[in-house]
Homo-oligomer: A and B are copies of this chain.
Amino acid sequence: MTERLSAPLVVKIGGGDGLDLDRICDDLAEISSRGTRLVVVHGGSAETNRVAEQLGHPPEFVTSVSGFTSRRTDRRTLEIFQMVYCGQVNKGLVERLQQRGVNALGLSGLDGRLWEGPRKAAIRIVKDGRRMVLRDDYTGKVERVNLKLLRDLLDSGYLPVIAPPAISYEGEAINVDGDRAAARTAAALAADTLVILSNVPGLLEDFPDESSLISSIPSNRVAEFIDVAQDRMKKKVLGAQEALSGGVRRVVLADGRVERPIQRALEGRGTVIGD
């Protein structure tokens, strides 16, 4: 029981536009000051799209045969992705937290092989109604979390702030979905709760109508809600499912644009999955 109480809270900060990083960091600082151990995972998608445009390598998205959308990640995209995720966004969050007295420490999944997994040899996609196979894509998924590194950092009083990419078993940087990586991380840490903040109030029955918020989903019905979810929300629900099956008690999909976003989520505002 004591162990359970000292389990860290994992917070995923989405990379869409509109999330209020200052309020999120205010909230993290307040929660941290009460002694809760925290691990942050973040995205950077919208800013990556903008920088990729500016650098003359505009973003492309592909849809897998199973209906999930992901970023086409050739080698140049991976480089731009790292600039934004590991440089701009990660260090921006670390700086904000440090200014609030929190000893944040930013890492990517490459560092110390924090997030390790297979690179996909081939991605089966659907384009203009036709099936195609991509073989030069740098994407994959997280299978192993370097738990010792995270525990050592938490024990030394640091707040780890983690960004994709992950690292393949062959040592290549691979783009991985941040929500699913956060789910893996929460499961590895035996976290009680995973909060996933984005620029909507949670899972919407009738996207984008924010009044159609689904307030709770029991564990045994998560799978059916993957179909309800649109686009990027699909992977959040899939991530929630993976977190729950990894032993996390509940996942809250919550609004990252508001005051005290994490505490609101912990109070059950948003879509509470599991429990």
Binding site for B on A (CB under 8 A): 51, 54-56, 79, 82-88, 90-92, 94-95, 98-100, 103-108, 110-113, 148-149, 152, 156, 158, 165, 167, 170-173
Contacts of A79 in B (CB 8 A): 88, 92
Closest-CB distance, A111 to chain B (whole angstroms) = 4
Closest-CB distance, A149 to chain B (whole angstroms) = 8
Q: Closest 9 interchain pairs by CB?
A: A87-B87, A99-B171, A83-B87, A83-B83, A105-B112, A105-B111, A86-B87, A98-B171, A82-B91
Contacts of A171 in B (CB 8 A): 95, 98-100
Contacts of A95 in B (CB 8 A): 110, 167, 171-173
Closest-CB distance, A71 to chain B (whole angstroms) = 16
Q: Across the two chains, which residue of chain B brings its CB closest to A95?
A: B173
Q: Which of B85, B86, B91 contacts A110 (CB 8 A)?
A: B91
Contacts of A173 in B (CB 8 A): 91, 95
Contacts of A100 in B (CB 8 A): 171
Closest-CB distance, A81 to chain B (whole angstroms) = 9
Q: Is the interface of A mostly helix, strand, loop or mixed?
A: helix
Bound-state CA distance A86–B85 (Å) is 10
Query: Would you mind naming 7 contact pairs between A and B with Cβ atoms under 8 Å apart?
Result: A51-B83, A91-B108, A95-B173, A99-B172, A103-B113, A105-B149, A152-B152
Closest-CB distance, A76 to chain B (whole angstroms) = 11
Bound-state CA distance A95–B56 (Å) is 24
Bound-state CA distance A64–B39 (Å) is 42
Q: Which of B55, B90, B99, B170 contacts A54 (CB 8 A)?
A: B55
Contacts of A110 in B (CB 8 A): 91, 94-95, 98, 106
Apart from the given pairs A99-B172, A105-B149, 19 other A-B contacts in the complex at a CB distance below 8 Å: A51-B83, A54-B54, A79-B88, A82-B88, A82-B92, A83-B84, A85-B87, A86-B86, A86-B91, A95-B167, A95-B171, A95-B172, A99-B170, A104-B112, A105-B112, A106-B108, A106-B110, A149-B156, A152-B152
